[in-house]
Amino acid sequence: MRIACMVASLLVAFTAQAQVYKWVDEKGQTHYEERPPEGKNATKMDVPAPAKEAPQPADSRDLKQQEQEFRRRQLQRQQNDAAEDRKRLQREAACTEARRRLEYESQRGRFYSTDEKGEKRFRTDEEQAAVVEATRKRVEDLCR
């Protein structure tokens, strides 16, 4: 009984090929259906049978090569991500330092530097404003 059912199902599977009919309605639209419509001029379409051959498995060397290429790309991506993370952290640290420096330079007070002789030279208001503006530009560049 089982064998008869299996043979019958195989025969149905091999002989089952969909029939498709093509027809045009009054509006000029083309339709495709499994049964021809009544009262319409339908054309039977030739539908190719499905391929009986299974695709061939890929060569094992080819699969190994694909695996190696995949692993190489994966390693390269990880290295690129790590490098980007390092750059981002360096940029964040530089930004934090530049903001700290801007806060310090923006305070009111007298700033000075020492010259070659070791004597104090106080900044003028214009020099201090230029230092603050340069520091502000550095913050803008680093912290975007």
pLDDT tens by residue, 26-63 = 888 888 888 888 877 888 887 777 667 666 666 777 88
Residue 84 in domain: yes
Whether 14 shows a pLDDT value over 50: the answer reads no
d(CA 18, CA 22): 13
Residue 27 in domain: no
| pLDDT tens, position by position, 106-123 | 887 778 888 899 999 888
Is-contact 41 23, C-beta < 8 A? Answer: yes
Residue 10 in domain: no
Residue 42 in domain: no
Residue 2 in domain: no
pTM over 0.85: no
What's the structural domain count of the chain? 1
Residue 18 in domain: no
Pairing state between β 120-122 and 112-114: antiparallel
Residue 101 in domain: yes
Q: Which residues span the domain enclosing 111? A: 63-142
> CA quadruple 126, 127, 129, 133: dihedral positive or negative?
positive
Residue 46 in domain: no
Locus of tokens 């060569």: 59
